[in-house]
Amino acid sequence: MRPLAVIMLIALMAAGCREDPKLRAKLDPALRQQLEDLAGAGTRAQLSVLGKCSSPLDEPMQSRLRRAGAAIETTAGDIFAARVRSDSLIQVARLTFVVSLALAGSADPSGSP
């Protein structure tokens, strides 16, 4: 029963991301594709992500990121690098101060081409 619950959770998260344009806009295309692929396969994974925030990260913001499921590796001003389980990524993206998320190494988290 547990694998079915994981599949359902990831599928619901991927569907929720597709249905919420503001949330979808926070995720770079490679990250969205990775979530959809994981949901389709019924698996979850630990993802390395880069995030951009609306202001430099302070301790309360870092605490909220950790509670949402991000294992913060480093920060620099308004940018952070973290490891996030795929089934926690949407909770991180829903934080109001998170502006964008990208797979580490795949894109600029600022959203610039």
Predicted local distance difference test score (pLDDT) of residue 61: 98
In a domain, 58, yes or no: yes
In a domain, 112, yes or no: no
Predicted local distance difference test score (pLDDT) of residue 14: 47
Per the rule left: phi > 0, alpha: psi between -120 and 50, beta: everything else, 105 is left
- Residues 54-66 have pLDDT tens digits of 999 999 999 999 9
In a domain, 40, yes or no: yes
Block means of pLDDT (10 residues each) for the chain, length 113 residues? 48 53 92 91 92 97 97 97 94 97 70 45
Predicted local distance difference test score (pLDDT) of residue 19: 59
Task: Indicate whether this model's pTM tops 0.85.
Answer: no
Q: d(Cα 32, Cα 5) in Å, to the nearest integer?
A: 21
Predicted local distance difference test score (pLDDT) of residue 107: 46
Query: 84 is written with which tokens?
Result: 């996030």
In a domain, 49, yes or no: yes
Supply the range of the domain harboring residue 35.
Answer: 2-103
In a domain, 108, yes or no: no
Q: d(Cα 41, Cα 103) in Å, to the nearest integer?
A: 19
Phi, psi angles (nearest 5°) of residue 3: -60, -35
Domain CATH code at residue 62: 3.30.70
Number of domains in the chain: 1
Q: d(Cα 46, Cα 55) in Å, to the nearest integer?
A: 26
In a domain, 59, yes or no: yes
In a domain, 110, yes or no: no
Q: d(Cα 4, Cα 24) in Å, to the nearest integer?
A: 25
In a domain, 111, yes or no: no
Q: Which residue's entry shows tokens 């998260």? A: 13
Provide, rounded to the nearest whole percent, the portion of the chain with pLDDT above 70.
Answer: 76
